[in-house]
Structure 1
Amino acid sequence: MADSHQRMLDANQLAARHEHRERIWREMLRVCRPDSRFHWDFSSFIADFEGSEQSALRVRQLEAYQACGRLFITPDNATEHLRRHAILDGKTVVMTTYAITRGFLVLEPGTVPAGEERYAATLDGMDTFATPTTLAELSTGEPIGLLATGGSAVATNGVRFGKGHGYFDLEWALMSETGVAGPDAQIVDLVHDCQVVEDDLAGLDHDAPVDWIVTPTRTLRTTPAHRRRPGRVFWDLLAGSALETTPPVVELRALKGM
């Protein structure tokens, strides 16, 4: 009965997320920029938005950003300005390829020639200058202290959801389980003001909890209702999905002897 109730609860939560996502996607048409390949298909990419440069500058003011030498930034259009600033600030930038298809990339300080930082911050630029890496290799370096992502919507209690594929939740879980991300690593979500849900939302067990919401006009510390630490992989949710065969998931299975 408990399992049945949990499944129903999750179904209701997912339905509520879908409603918020669809409503916000309609609002985003006013403030977001189309993707060169996916155009206005928000189910395929996390859009850049008016004022995203200001959001990136606000992230740079966070103590967690200033203190970390290595950070993870998602391959979202909304986080491109932050990737450029991280390169200019001499940070080590860790990123996944789109949809985690080819796993992780790492861009070390000093790798990008002067004047190429703007291009290096794009996904094509990261493929040009960054190096493919594994969870095992990443786990030997400084633990990641900050994870930055975009999103479709985020509530003020730290519940975030993206396109609906679960990429960031899995990335956080993979890095948590292997020690790539430290137990006290903070998560920041860069969104437009119209993407902030002022009401509390119910979180799912596998959700990556957001510590900071940064918009062009606000820096919000979320309420502590949903800060489960550390992340872990929910293998039953991956069964049969395309994510099950991505290189980091295959690697983690091998590391665990599964």
Structure 2
Amino acid sequence: MTDTEIDRAKQAARERVWNLLERAGAAPPGVHGHIPDFAGADQAAARLAELPIWRAATVIKSNPDKAQLPVRVRALHKGKLLYMAVPKLATPAPFYLLDPATLTMPLETAASSGGAAKTARTIGVDEMRPVDLIVCGSVVVNRNGVRVGKGAGYSDIEVALLTEAGLIGPETTIVTTVHQLQVVEDELPETEHDFRVDVIVTPDDVIECGSPMRPNGIMAGHLNAQKVRDIPVLKPYADR
């Protein structure tokens, strides 16, 4: 498939699942264009918290979307160090550092995108510790771990940045929490800069996927000029 065909196939998968979630009342209206804030997100977070990979993790990196807010809150309540991506990676230091030992506002607030912006310091990968567990949002995912996000590519860039910095490797687990309607049986398109998730957690199930698959780092050839302008941390990679 060409890049254009892959983009079209991904968008078709997104639209199908967004429509399905809305029809089923499994996500709030207006879900199109977003990582779905799905019904049962709290239960999925609780199920994730039962897993050995969660209990063993001391450093977690998460996306900032509302669907994964219950996961982030649990992480802070358990005393885990939490890195959260700055929305759209729009600052030169593109991650919030959330340390429950030093936070001065309620953890439920600090774990939100708005709360983190008010209370957390932003840091670059040079200040980060190795990450034990990555939590990402998805629009669609299949049982092989192939995921489709909302289309902006931020999660792929975050994983690539952490890989470049040596902060994650094949042993680092990547998990997504989703509604069961977001899990599909069919093949999903992917490119070489996409990563696959290792574990899918729904309110009702835990699905272990296949062998880890993720990029070796930032792929300069996949960066367009607009993305480099919008995401300051990418400039050194685009210039190399």
Q: Normalising by the residue count of structure 2, what TM-score does the alignment of the two structures yield?
A: 0.90
1:79 to 43, 49, 68: 68
Structure 1 Cα separation of the partners of residues 228 and 170 of structure 2: 24
Distance in 2 (CA, whole Å) between partners of 1:18 and 1:54 is 28
8 Å contact 2:194–2:214 — kept in the other structure? Answer: no
1:144 aligned counterpart, secondary structure:
coil
Q: Which runs of 5+ in 2 are unaligned?
A: none
- Give the aligned partner of residue 136 of structure 2: 149
> Between Structure 1 and Structure 2, how many residues are aligned?
236
Q: Determine whether 1:94 maps to 2:83.
A: yes
Equivalent position of 2:165 in the other structure: 178
Q: Deviations over 1:96-115 (max 9, x none)?
A: 1111112111111312347x
Counterparts of 1:147 and 1:162, CA distance in 2: 15
Answer with 56-65 or 230-239: which moved more: 230-239
Tell whether 2:124 aligns with 1:134.
Answer: yes
Q: In the alignment, is the contact (CA less than 8 A) between 1:145 and 1:182 conserved in 2?
A: no
Q: Which amino acid aligns with 1:84?
A: V
Aligned to 1:236: 221
* Deviation sequence 1:46-85 (CA, Å, 0-9, x none): 1211100011111112222211211101011110000100
1:112 aligns to 2:75 (yes or no): no
1:249 corresponding residue in structure 2: 234
**Match for residue 18 of structure 2?**
25
Match of 1:195 among 182, 195, 207: 182
| Structure 2 Cα separation of the partners of residues 23 and 181 of structure 1 | 32
Greater Cα shift, 117-126 or 73-82: 117-126
Identity percentage over the alignment? 33
Runs of 4 or more, structure 1, over 6 Å off, are none
Question: Structure 1: which 5+ residue stretches go unaligned?
Answer: 1-7, 35-39
Map 1:50-61 onto structure 2 (within 5 A): 50-61=39-50
Cross-structure match for 1:5: none
* Partner SS state of residue 116, structure 2: helix
For residue 9 of structure 2, what is the aligned residue in structure 1?
16
Q: What do residues 135-176 of structure 1 show as CA deviations (whole Å, max 9, x unaligned)?
A: 1111xx2x1011101111001111101111111011000011
| Distance change in 2, residues 1:32/1:93 (3 Å) | same
Are 1:88 and 1:117, in contact at CA under 8 Å, matched by a contact in 2?
yes
Paired with 1:24 and 1:90, the residues of 2 have a C-alpha distance of 35
TM-score (norm 1): 0.85
The one-letter code sitting in structure 2 at the alignment partner of 1:107 is L
**Do the aligned partners of 1:189 and 1:212 also contact (CA within 8 Å) in 2?**
yes
